[in-house]
Amino acid sequence: MANLKEIRNRISSVSSTMQITSAMKMVSAAKLKKAQDAITAMRPYSDKLTELLQNLSATLDADSGSKLAENREINKVLIVAISSNRGLAGAFNSNIIKGANAHIKANYAGKEVHLVTLGKKADAILSKSFKVVTNDNAIFDDLTFDNVSVIAEELMDSFEVGEYDRIDIIYNKFKNAATQIVTTEQFLPIVAAVKDVPTTTPDYIFEPSKEEIVEGLIPKALKTQLFKGIRDSVASEHGARMTAMHKATDNATELRDALKLQYNKARQAAITNEILEIVGGAEALNN
C-alpha cells in the first residue's frame, strides 16, 4: 500500500485537475449558449435560401444554367473538413477524421482527392494520408461572414475553372450539448430540386430575369452554406467540450473520494500500529 505522503500528493494532483476541468466546463457552457443562439437563428434562413436556389436551378435550361451547377464526370474531388484548433472535446475531432476517411473510401475510391482543412486537428491527421491544399486554421480566431466568404469564393473559383469536379463539406452538426452529428453536404455542383414533383414546385414571379437572379443568388447561398457549416461546428465543439469536461470532473471527483478513503484507511492503520507498539513497549517495561 502507498504511504501517506504519496496518497496526499495524488489527492492534491487530482483536486487540481478537477478544478481545471470544472473551469473549462463552465467556460465552454458560456460559449455554447452564444454559439447555439447564433446557429439556431441562422438555420431557417440558410435552409430557405438553399431551397430557393435548388428550385430555381431546377427550372433553368442546361445552356442557361450556371457553371456552378454543371455536373461533370468525377475525376478530381475536394473535401472541406471542418474540425477545431483545440482538443479536450471528446470524440469531436476524431469523428470528423473518421467521417472524412469513410466518405472518401465509400464514394471516391480511385479518384484524386484533395482537402481543405479548417482546424489544426483535422490538418494534423488527414495531411498524412491526403494532399491538403489549404489549411485555414485562423478562421476561428475571427469568425465572420466576410472572412468565410473569402474561402467560399476560392472554392467557387476552383470549381468554375475545372480544377475540381466535386466539392463536399464535412462537419459536426449541432443537435444538443451531448450530441453532434457528422454531416456531409455537397457544396458544388449545386444540387437542383427534383423536377418530377410539379405539385410542390413554387410559382415565382421573376424580376429581372430568372438567369440574373440565379447568378446573383448562387454565390450568396454558397457562402451562407459554408458559414452555417462552420457555425454548426463551433457550437458542436463547445457542446462536446462541455460534456467531456463534465465527465472528466465527475471522474476526478470519484477518484479523489476513493483516494481520500484509501488515505483514511492507511492513516488509521498507521495509528493502530503505533498504539500497538506503545502498548507492547509498556508491557515489556512492566515485565
pLDDT in tens, 36-78: 999 999 999 998 888 888 777 766 655 555 788 888 899 999 9
Residue found by looking up cell 457549416 in the block = 229
Q: Which residues contact 155 (CB under 8 A, 6 or more apart)?
A: 78, 80, 116, 167, 187, 188, 222, 226
DSSP-derived 3-state class of residue 125: helix
Structural domain spans, the chain:
21-244
Burial (CB count within 10 angstroms: exposed 0-12, middle 13-18, buried 19+), residue 227: buried
Strands (E), the chain: 76-82, 112-118, 131-135, 166-176, 179-188
Count Cα atoms within 13 angstroms, Cβ side, for 267.
11
Q: Are strands 166-176 and 131-135 parallel, antiparallel or unpaired?
A: unpaired
CATH number of 21-244: 3.40.1380.10
Residue 31 C-alpha cell reads as 460559449
Which pLDDT does position 2 carry in this prediction? 63
Q: What is the mean pLDDT of each run of 10 residues along the chain (287 residues)?
A: 83 94 94 93 90 74 67 93 94 96 94 95 94 92 93 94 95 93 93 58 71 83 94 96 95 94 90 87 82
Residue 204 C-alpha cell reads as 415565382
Which pLDDT does position 1 carry in this prediction? 52
